[in-house]
């Protein structure tokens, strides 16, 4: 379960509102080690809670507020997240969001990192407000403000670097225009849930960088490809092409160690396939 501070985690936020606590439901999976690709997909809601009366008693505040919502964005949007691992070297996260009221929404992805993000030139600074959710009956959550720098995003890719490790990120979008800018904010990194590169206990003197990627649309998909590699070496993995056919269908070409891999995802049938392509 997420705490009320979704805006401090690597999650999706809709119209500035944090995710409500709910129980997710598994849609499909294939985690066989012997295959070149593993994947798992889940819906943000409609899961099953244990059939115990105290979980639905408003006097037991935390339990009650954790179970009263069927999904994470009630009345606004429904979310599916699919995570794919290719050749144990590339990670694909595909988020699909459907509007529940037929209106467009502001979908915002938050990425947190201690690394330096390779964003473009600074444009201006704005203040974004987030509405925390209510966990306890006695709570009166107030808006949380974040100062966010708008920076140019010259392409659908970013590089993150530290002295030990680096990460290439590539995005693909369906149902919305990809933004020309990305938000950047910072905060102290004393988060017990997330650990630190120095101690591993969640406490660090470093500032935590927070990226804000925002899409405006009704039914949208954001696919994120993560390619980690050691700093000081050249990554042997490259995203050659990306084709988002629909909310349920995507194709991606990856070059891994000199070999071309065609990745096909069919979310409607719950299947992802990886095929090596012989190059002439």
For 270-279, write each residue's pLDDT tens digit. 999 999 887 6
Residue 195 reports pLDDT greater than 60 = no
How high is the mean pLDDT of the chain? 84
Fold classification of 6-231 is Beta-galactosidase; Chain A, domain 5 (2.70.98)
Q: Is 96 exposed, middle or buried (0-12, 13-18, 19+ CB in 10 A)?
A: buried
Q: What is the pTM of this model?
A: 0.86
Question: Any idea which of 46-55, 236-245, 260-269 has the lowest mean pLDDT?
Answer: 46-55
State residue 193's pLDDT score.
Answer: 44
State residue 181's pLDDT score.
Answer: 94
CA–CA separation, 42 and 124 (whole Å): 37
Contact 147, 183 (CB under 8 A): no
CA–CA separation, 43 and 236 (whole Å): 33
CA–CA separation, 100 and 107 (whole Å): 13
Quick one: pLDDT band at residue 6, thresholds 50, 70, 90? low
Return the H-helix or E-strand segment holding 208. Answer: strand 207-217
pLDDT tens per residue, range 106-138: 999 988 888 888 888 999 998 888 877 665 556
**Cα of 124 vs its chain's centroid, Å:** 25
Going by C-alpha positions, the residue among 57, 28, 31, 56 that lies closest to residue 41 is 28
- DSSP label of 63: H
State residue 145's pLDDT score.
Answer: 83
Give the other-Cβ count within 10 Å of 57's Cβ. 12
Both tokens of 63, joined, read 């339990």
Contact 116, 160 (CB under 8 A): yes
């Amino acid at each position: 379960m997420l705490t009320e501070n979704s805006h401090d985690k690597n999650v999706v936020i809709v119209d500035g509102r944090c995710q409500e606590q709910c129980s997710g439901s598994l849609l499909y999976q294939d985690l066989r080690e012997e295959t070149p690709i593993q994947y798992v997909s889940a819906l943000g809601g409609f899961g099953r809670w244990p059939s115990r009366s105290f979980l639905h008693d408003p006097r037991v505040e935390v339990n009650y507020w954790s179970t009263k919502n069927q999904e994470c964005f009630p009345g606004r949007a429904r979310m599916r997240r699919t995570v794919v691992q290719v050749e144990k070297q590339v990670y694909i996260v595909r988020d699909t969001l459907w509007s529940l009221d037929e209106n467009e929404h502001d979908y915002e992805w938050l990425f947190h990192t201690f690394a330096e993000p390779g964003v473009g030139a600074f444009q201006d600074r704005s203040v974004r407000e987030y509405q925390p959710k209510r966990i306890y009956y006695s709570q009166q959550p107030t808006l949380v403000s974040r100062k966010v720098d708008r920076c140019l995003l010259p392409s659908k890719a970013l590089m993150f670097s530290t002295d030990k490790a680096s990460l290439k990120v590539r995005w693909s979008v369906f149902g919305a225009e990809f933004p020309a800018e990305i938000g950047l904010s910072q905060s102290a990194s004393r988060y017990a849930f997330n650990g630190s590169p120095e101690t591993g206990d969640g406490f660090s003197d470093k500032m935590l960088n927070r990226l804000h990627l925002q899409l405006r649309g009704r039914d949208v998909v954001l696919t994120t490809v993560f390619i980690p590699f050691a700093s000081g070496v050249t990554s042997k993995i490259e995203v050659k092409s990306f084709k988002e056919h629909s909310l349920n269908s995507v194709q991606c070409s990856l070059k891994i160690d000199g070999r071309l891999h065609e990745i096909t995802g069919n979310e409607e049938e719950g299947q992802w396939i990886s095929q090596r392509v012989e190059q002439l």
